[in-house]
Structure 1
Amino acid sequence: MSISNDIRKLLDIQDQNIDFEENCVHDGTFKGKPCKFVNARLTYEPAYCPKCDAPKEGASIYKNGHQKSRITLPMAGTCATYLVLNKQRFMCRACQRSFTAKTPIVTPHAFITNTVKAQILMKAAEAQSITAIANDCQVSHTTVQRVINEEAKRFKQQNKKLPHHLSFDEFKYAKGRMAFEYINVETGELLDILEARTSRAIKDHFRTHYQLKDRRRVETVTIDMNAGYVSVIQALFPNAKIIIDRFHLVQLISRAMNKTRIQVMNRFKTSNNEDMKKYRRLKAYWKLLLKKASDVSMTTYKYYRLFGQRLESAIIDELLSYDDTLRVNYVLYQNLLRAMDQQDHQALEQLLTQPCLQATSTHLRTSMKTLRKHLPYIKHSFDYTYSNGRIEGMNNKIKVLNRVAYGYRNFTNYKNRILLYFKLKPVSPSVPKQKKTRFIAA
């Protein structure tokens, strides 16, 4: 009996009706691969017949042979491990039908233990491919996907209430195909994923799953500068305020400023040595022109290639002296950054509505036109602290899943994997900082 207890603990089997004998483990091969087989016997005294519910009285239910099953266990060492279980069969005199002893380590008519299924789900919460999980658990990739799909049913939306603050975004999952996702911007909970990001698909989804009274309770929706989302939000959420993510605002004008630098830089790509020197400097120190003026060092000297010992501010001044257009755009770019950093909507509005100077580049004028179009929603981004930071971080992890799996053909399988990845992923506990102990020499 002590051997059975030790093996049960080793294999994580809780059923006391499974008995193991000495020398029950032996090596073998299955499907051409080396493995370990563990022989065991399952028997007990049934209280009633599961076929006719007749209680056992005396010998009304008697033993009637055995049925052998090969059940997949978690790997022990480097080889696949199988439990060869000899199940007791019983015969009922009342209904003249037989039945087999059951064990909770597997579901009825299954040959993969619940422990292996739990192991599959634990690995599905990590950035691993389906094939890698199947190899680690010694099951087929079809079995892995089936376990994931069954578990994902628990996390699908079923008449849940919408949170007060939402966040919208999209991600690419196939060539030329974009999926839509929305989350609770306060908690970062992934609510649902749609196969398409079209206005029709989004409207049909929210109108089907949520009533108008639920959609009226939504207070804010945070988005990037996707013009299609604005009309969708106004149609679905009458009381919601649209918030433009602040990162995308800065990114828009930063890219415009960088394109302006490239445009000016290419003018100096000539056969003249002085022009090529300016070209190399503008190409090498592009980050300094995108840096906020408040972060530029004006006191510390450093050695810079192509310049020598200089201040950051001195390098920027010299780069701007190469072209008047570059200087005008740089000043406007810094003013826009300052207004956004200080959340000064009035100053930003004045910068965007003033007549554009002829020296301003076409790239910056186009960006300012886009900002003017979204000016009412930019004010909301200054009034609220919500952003698309959480959903953008989730998109990065989703792309990792897609890259590890080399793409998904079936969107439903991809969606289920994403749901499990975020729902089952354990949260790492925050370790409190230990107080440093000061030792004093005696």
Structure 2
Amino acid sequence: MSDDYEIRRFTAASKGEAGFPDAESWLQAVAFGFHESTRTPEHVAKSLETYAADRRIFTGAYQTREVAQGSLPAEVPVATFGTFRKTLNIGFGRLLETQLVTAVTVRTSHRRRGLLRRMMSEDLAMAKHDGVAMAALTASEGSIYGRFGYGVASFERTVKVDTTSRFQLNHQAAGSVDIADPPVLLDLAPEVFDRVHRLTPGSIGRQEWYRQLASGSLGRDGKEDPAIKVVLHYGPDGAVDGYVSYKFLGWDTEPHTVQVVDFVAATNEAYLELWQFLAAIDLVERVTWEEAPLDDPLTWALADPRCIDSSDSRDMLWLRILDVVKALEARHYPVDGRLVLEVLDPLGLTGGTFTLEASGGQAAVVRPDTPGTPDLTLDISALASIYLGGVCPVTLTAAGRIREHKQGASLQARGMFAVERATHCLTHF
């Protein structure tokens, strides 16, 4: 990166705090990079309030030379990079502190100057220095982050569910559902999500904004959303163990459609019974959900699985391992075994040869004194992909992403890296 730019880092600041002007200009650059309409001052203030609650760190690349006449002023960064920390469920209820990367933009006129590489490389190195073993992001484009060592670790899909008479669930209700006043989710949503988070491999802890979105208190446009409706699920003990936040898309939509805003269920019964409720809404023929799992129990509970139209599956969570030893030893392993892994790291953060020995669910990971021939050779991004069990090592071997030196090692890795249920992430960031 040339001397024409400097990198600055600062914490998110709410309106009235000392750092608010810098944060406001940073947010202006992010909005431009993601083609958003100009945010109102009220929207900016509310957004920064939630970011401050998450303790986000803002990074920006700023021009040091005189800016061109009429262009955006120098206090608006030409590249942005945001981070905050939450936990990642790595299977079997284990939570790992993770560096979440968000709001990555580079202004078109300042690309190919090394700005993203410097911000990314420095941030990952600092996170590792802090003892964080994992980084994560959700990608707007699929071709950018592999070169930084990120690998796809979970998927999601958009579903359109026919809720006419075709919708019949093979399920006997064990709990009950009822309509609730949307603001109850300001308190209830984090409680219910915490249960789901601890049960679901691939789940990321949620930021402040989610409870406001689910309750209709703060929509994506920065305003309260009066269209939001909420239904709660009560388990056999009477406690709330799931909810759906949704809205009707209007009488002009054909077929008449309800759109799921947030769907969080801590039990299998809550999940299916909330679907039963959605399908029973009067005057509605379709329910859409943009964050549905690929391996969906609903498919197998329906008498006619073709009620679900799913044509938009996509990658969701991308992981980047910062410390191979720490990340591998943090996991639970359902199958005993020994694997020698040669890990290639394009950024040089954590490459090398490692012996992974799992016994009784626990793992010891060491760097052998004399590595010899590994069982598997793989890029750090491929190791990140198989880490949560969401991507099959056998498939990556077939694709040439993993080189198998010992016959059957990929299948062995599949068993060792398996998790207790389907990997799914309900949190975008």
- TM-score strictly above 0.5: no
- Higher relative strand content: 2
TM-score, length-scaled by structure 1: 0.25
Greater share of residues in helix = 1
| Greater length-normalized contact order (CA 8 Å, ≥ 6 residues apart) | 2
